[in-house]
Amino acid sequence: MDKPPIVIIGAGPAGLAAAHELAAHGHSSIIVEKLDKVGGLARTENYRGFSFDIGGHRFFTKEEEVNRLWRELLGPEFLRRPRLSRIYYRRRFFYYPLRPLNALAGLGVWRSLAIVLSYLRWQLFPHKGEDTFEQWVTNRFGRKLFETFFKTYTEKVWGISCAELRAEWAAQRIRGLSLKTALIGMFRKPPATIKTLIEEFDYPRLGPGMMWQAARDAVERRGSSVRLGCEVISIRRRGSAIENVLISNNGHQEALSGAEFISSMPVKELVEKLDPPPSQSVIEAARRLRFRGLIVVCLIVRRPDLFPDNWIYIHDPTVKVGRIQNYKNWSPAMAGDGSKTSLGMEYFATPGDGLWSMSDGALIELAKTEINRIGLAASADVEDGCVVRAPEAYPVYDADYRSALATVREFVNGLENFQTIGRNGLHRYNNQDHAMLTGILAARNIALAERNDLWSVNTDSEYHEELLVPDKAIEEALARIFTRLDRTAFAAAVGIVCGAALFAATIALVIKGGDVVGPNLSLLRQYFPGYRVTASGSLLGLAYGFCAGYIGGWLFAFLRNAAMFIYVARAYRRAQRGLLRRFFDYL
């Protein structure tokens, strides 16, 4: 490769996908990663022969390019795994998708009835605006169900009130579902085309890190380099052009120059490390972008089998843990010792808060206590554990993020030879397949001079995100597609045509003449009193024709509009059933 190298910041799914695509078009890359392994948030950690995921990463996608790349990199090392997940609430486990008897037994008859009545109330009198998570969910599920299942868990994850969390996140993760569709899901299997809700998923035999190590090996074989343990100190620019990236490795600093630059580091951190810095308004906007951290406490339990789930959501406010992963049920090879089980106790925290600042030993003790309280394992059976912290795991969609991101985005788009990719680089809650797609498209912008808008990636309305369109825009679009008939105008038009037709027919018969003028048309006198097939009768026929046409036209327009309303309403409900079983699978 004789072209100048491309500098890529971050060796996660997005950065490695960018390097792989660049190599396919004859460009070499220098990838710098501050951690000691590739994969970013999707990496696999190891402790005492046990492997564990940072959050649980199923491999599924509707992006065929990403799927082909996965198959190319791992091939037979992919396992097809059955999926089982449940919800823990009020000391009970609820199957997901819901099962009628299990749900009724867990909630009780009266609470179940209250949930249905609450749903009906909010269908009749919904929030007029849907700016917040609370409003969005309440309008679709009712307040009772929102308070039962959504509120506690969501506030655990984000550390902010549901009244502050923006509706975009709800639309992105639980689009197209209502209480009605959830109840239907108890009795009817969803369409096979719903990719996020598949009964089985693919998973690398040794965890997701296996995929990213294979990607690293592939790009290095083609002339690129991956440099681990390298922290970015500053990103130097001249005007709107990036000149080099200053990195530090074990105290040694080095400036990396390149023709183009791609970054998957948090966009907030990117702005802070620019030299010279951007305007104060951009700096302040970047500071308003927040991230939620993830703490994974890996426990090694002296039991070969604990519970059948891949993961369990904890909707119980009496414990701090938010989700529990059973790595052995993702892949048996994740457990180095088959006589034991490794669990991932996931805690959501903000760097610097009390939970984040706890020592590893205290976190392990907390996890042991809570796993015992939930009843999944005895504290005495936990023989060891370790802790991994991911400080920037989830971009927060708070009340301030939208305007702040718009300011930062405008500045980043103005840089000539620089692109930002991935979940953190775009401050967008992407899954790993869409993160990879941003890297692939960024590479094509360089290698093929394409003009892909990376910020618009992840608009797959069928399984991952809802495009939030203002109500007025929806109304205008529907008005263009399903034009409503104006009853008065349509009735008047039909009346004029009918009156004129009867007048013309009467005059024509009068002019024609004969022994008996217009015998058939004369029958209309039974419905139109006083009408005759005569010159004077034609004027009365004009009036009668107009009145009859007006009434008929008005009724037709009314029935047509009513039928169209019913059709649109049914189409909307069918669309709501599009993600039938995404009831609690919104993380």
Three-state SS across 280-304? HHHHHHHHCCCEEEEEEEEEEECCC
Residue-level pLDDT at 414: 95
| More confident site: 34 or 153 | 34
Assess contact for 263 and 418: CB atoms under 8 A.
Answer: yes
Q: Which residues of 341-351 are buried (b: 16+ CB within 10 A; e: fewer)?
A: bbbbbbbbbbe
Residues 166-174: what's their mean pLDDT?
65
Question: How far is residue 54 from each of residues 121, 295, 389, 468, 557, measured CA to CA in Å?
Answer: 40, 9, 9, 30, 59
292 and 274 Cβ atoms separated by less than 8 Å: no
Residue 235 confidence (pLDDT): 97
pLDDT at 441 (0 to 100): 96
Q: How high does pLDDT run on average in the chain?
A: 84
Tens-place pLDDT, residues 398-452: 888 989 999 999 999 999 999 999 999 999 988 899 999 999 999 999 999 999 9
- CATH, range 6-78+202-289+399-456: 3.50.50.60
In this prediction, residue 570 carries a pLDDT of 64
Lowest mean pLDDT among 37-41, 312-316, 421-425, 514-518: 514-518
Q: Which residues contact 397 (CB under 8 A, 6 or more apart)?
A: 165, 166, 168, 169, 429
Please report, as a single letter, which amino acid is at residue 358: M
Q: What is the reported pLDDT for 192? A: 43
Domain 291-395 architecture: Alpha-Beta Complex (3.90)
> Which pLDDT band, with edges at 50, 70 and 90, does 381 fall under?
very high
Burial class (CB in 10 A: 0-12, 13-18, 19+), 238: exposed
Least trusted range by pLDDT, from 224-233, 323-332, 549-558: 549-558
Is pLDDT of 206 > 50?
Answer: yes
* Banded pLDDT at 255 (limits 50, 70, 90): very high
Global confidence as pTM? 0.73
- Token digits of residue 552: 């008929």
Residue 578 pLDDT more than 50? no
pLDDT at 462 over 80: no
**At residue 316, does pLDDT exceed 60?**
yes
Is residue 470 pLDDT above 50, yes or no?
A: no
Could you give phi then psi for residue 8, rounded to 5 degrees?
Answer: -120, 125
> Taking 50 as the threshold, does the pLDDT of residue 466 lie above it?
no
- When pLDDT is cut at 50, 70 and 90, the band that residue 461 belongs to is very low
Confidence band for 61, pLDDT divided at 50, 70 and 90 = confident
Higher pLDDT, 108 or 496: 496
Share of the chain above pLDDT 70, in %: 84
Q: What is the pLDDT of residues 478-501, one digit of tens each?
A: 555 556 778 888 888 888 898 888
The span from the CA of 244 to the CA of 10, in Å, is 15
pLDDT surpassing 90 at residue 203: yes
Tell me if 6-78+202-289+399-456 shares its fold with 291-395.
Answer: no
pLDDT greater at residue 172 or residue 119: 119
Q: Using CA atoms, how far apart are residues 431 and 426, in angstroms rounded to an integer?
A: 12
Work out the percent of the chain whose per-residue pLDDT is above 90: 51
Domain ranges of the chain: 6-78+202-289+399-456, 98-189, 291-395, 487-574
Condensed to tens digits (0 to 9), the pLDDT of residues 283-296 reads: 999 999 999 999 99
The H or E element that residue 263 is part of is strand 260-263
H-state helical runs in 319-421: 327-330, 354-357, 360-374, 401-413
Is residue 495 exposed (0-12), middle (13-18) or buried (19+ Cβ within 10 Å)? Answer: buried
Helices 100-107 and 109-124, interaxial angle, to 10°? 100
d(CA 261, CA 442): 10
Confidence of residue 587 (pLDDT cuts 50, 70, 90): very low
Whether residue 97 has a cis bond before it, omega within 30° of 0:
yes
- Nearest of 535, 532, 481, 490 to residue 512 by alpha carbon: 535
383/154: higher pLDDT: 383
3-state secondary structure of 526: helix
Q: State the pLDDT at residue 35.
A: 96
Which pLDDT tens digit goes with each residue over 503-534? 888 888 788 776 666 677 777 777 788 888 78
Q: Is the pLDDT confidence value at 135 over 80?
A: yes
CB 309 within 8 A of CB 344: no
Predicted local distance difference test score (pLDDT) of residue 242: 95
Q: What count of residues does the chain have?
A: 587
Identity of residue 53: D
Higher pLDDT, 468 or 260: 260
